[in-house]
């Protein structure tokens, strides 16, 4: 566990008017020739370029006076320079080697780190950077901001945290990071000294193997089921579809409703995260490989690890009846119904009951909806 030091420099000022700072405000990405030519044509047809009086159409560059344009023409486009001409910007070179070295500089799309604007020409990006007089760059991730206040909001959110050395997760306090570290180093059962990976596996193991005393409070009257412990009974109340109405009444006590949908949350932070991710589509955790946004950094890192890096999920959600492990709680709940015989999803047309909702929906789609379509065809 490490703490990012406050005395270390966190940011630096960048002035776009200084040439040595411009490269720090621009991110380059490789581009194909066809896309490059199309991008240059769009810049030549833009209003900001057309309204300039002194300009070089080949290079998409502009000047404030006629002397600057004339000097440019003599330096780059005069036939006396050499017989080799760049097919992109018409710049002349004295040899084939210098021409090839010159052309390699073109095959990039330039992106402004401040506002994400993209240009295919360096002069076009230079004109754009004149709008950003003094930028603040974060030294931790090289993002740029318009003022120090925006930078500190960013730094407080992403960098001023306790950092886990194992996975890079950032936590707000020492207690939270210590609790998180147990996820990596495991829990030891005080009764049998067995080591378990996380708190869920540890609690399930202790409840099932060492605290299996049955009491009256662990009996569900509505489902006519007795559980091995009070904790397993509470878990049943939270996951069983038979108690969904009771959970809805509990949700009604929450006080932060989403302005766009019917979801209600116990904290404003949870509601804001939901709104930005689902409705505003403004999540900062974005996977470029599959074009998906994620609600938080933990889900994003899990997605990268399991979908793109080939890691396998730990099946640490254990069934308290047969001991079989599953990777997700939802899969475990569906599995437990195979032991209990619970079928909480009835068909509204024929009364058939199913253990899983998607099985009921498939039944309705392929049995009842198909019958209705056939009947309409005969009519």
Which pLDDT does position 250 carry in this prediction?
59
Confidence of residue 2 (pLDDT cuts 50, 70, 90): very low
> Is 37 a residue whose pLDDT tops 50?
yes
Over the stretch 59-96, which tens digit does the pLDDT of each residue have? 888 888 889 889 988 888 888 888 899 888 889 999 98
Interval 142-163 mean pLDDT: 76
Over the stretch 171-202, which tens digit does the pLDDT of each residue have? 766 677 777 777 676 777 777 777 776 777 77
Higher pLDDT, 150 or 283: 150
Higher pLDDT, 20 or 351: 351
Which pLDDT does position 3 carry in this prediction?
41
* Domain range summary for the chain, segments of one domain joined by +: 17-132, 187-290, 343-379
Over the stretch 211-250, which tens digit does the pLDDT of each residue have? 655 555 677 877 777 776 777 777 777 777 677 667 666 5
Higher pLDDT, 9 or 108: 108
Q: Do residues 233 and 244 make contact, with C-beta atoms less than 8 angstroms apart? A: no
Query: Which of 205-214, 258-267, 329-338 is predicted with the least confidence, judged by mean pLDDT?
Result: 205-214
Higher pLDDT, 336 or 166: 336
Pairing relationship of beta strands 256-257 and 264-265 according to DSSP bridges: antiparallel
Segment of 16-20, 148-152, 204-208 carrying the highest mean pLDDT: 148-152
* Half-sphere exposure in the Cβ direction for 147 (13 Å, CA): 2
Which pLDDT does position 196 carry in this prediction?
76
Q: What SS3 state is found at 101?
A: helix
Which pLDDT does position 305 carry in this prediction?
84
Over the stretch 100-125, which tens digit does the pLDDT of each residue have? 888 888 888 888 877 778 888 888 88
Which pLDDT does position 377 carry in this prediction?
45
Alpha helices for the chain (secondary structure H): 19-22, 33-44, 47-50, 66-72, 96-103, 122-129, 148-158, 174-185, 199-209, 230-239, 244-251, 268-274, 297-303, 329-340, 357-363, 370-378
Higher pLDDT, 359 or 379: 359
Q: Do residues 287 and 303 make contact, with C-beta atoms less than 8 angstroms apart? A: yes
Over the stretch 39-57, which tens digit does the pLDDT of each residue have? 888 888 888 788 888 889 8
Give the Cα separation of 201 and 339 in Å (integer): 20
Helices 230-239 and 199-209, packing angle to 10 deg: 130
Confidence of residue 7 (pLDDT cuts 50, 70, 90): very low
Over the stretch 313-331, which tens digit does the pLDDT of each residue have? 778 888 888 888 888 777 8
């Amino acid at each position: 566990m490490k703490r990012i030091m406050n005395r270390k420099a966190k940011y630096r000022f960048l002035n776009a008017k200084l040439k040595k700072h411009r490269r720090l405000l621009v991110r380059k990405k490789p581009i194909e020739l066809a896309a490059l030519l199309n991008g240059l044509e769009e810049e030549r047809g833009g209003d900001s370029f057309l309204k300039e009086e002194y300009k070089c159409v080949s290079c998409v560059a502009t000047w404030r006076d006629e002397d600057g344009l004339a000097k440019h023409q003599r330096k780059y486009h005069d036939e006396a320079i050499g017989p080799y001409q760049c097919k992109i910007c018409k710049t002349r070179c004295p040899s084939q080697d210098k021409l090839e070295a010159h052309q390699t500089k073109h095959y990039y799309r330039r992106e402004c780190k401040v506002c994400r604007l993209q240009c295919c020409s360096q002069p076009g990006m230079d004109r754009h950077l004149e709008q950003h007089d003094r930028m603040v760059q974060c030294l931790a991730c090289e993002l740029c901001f318009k003022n120090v206040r925006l930078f500190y909001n960013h730094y407080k959110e992403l960098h001023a945290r306790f950092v886990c050395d194992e996975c890079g997760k950032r936590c707000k306090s020492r207690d939270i990071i210590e609790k998180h570290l147990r996820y990596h180093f495991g829990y030891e059962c005080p009764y049998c000294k067995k080591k378990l990976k996380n708190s869920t596996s540890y609690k399930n193991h202790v409840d099932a193997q060492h605290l299996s005393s049955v009491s009256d409070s662990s009996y569900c009257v509505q489902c006519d089921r007795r559980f091995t412990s009070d904790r397993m009974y509470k878990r049943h109340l939270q996951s069983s579809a038979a108690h969904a109405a009771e959970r809805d009444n509990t949700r009604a006590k929450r006080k932060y409703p989403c302005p766009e949908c019917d979801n209600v949350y116990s904290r404003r932070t949870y509601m804001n995260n939901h709104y930005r991710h689902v409705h505003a589509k403004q999540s900062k955790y974005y996977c470029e490989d599959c074009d998906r946004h994620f609600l938080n950094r933990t889900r994003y890192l899990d997605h990268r690890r399991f979908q793109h890096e080939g890691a396998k999920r730990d099946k640490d959600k254990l069934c308290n009846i047969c001991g079989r492990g599953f990777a997700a709680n939802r899969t475990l709940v569906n599995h437990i119904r195979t032991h209990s015989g619970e079928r909480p999803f009835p068909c509204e047309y024929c009364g058939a009951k199913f253990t899983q909702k998607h099985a009921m929906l498939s039944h309705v789609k392929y049995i009842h909806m198909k019958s209705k379509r056939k009947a309409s065809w005969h009519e």
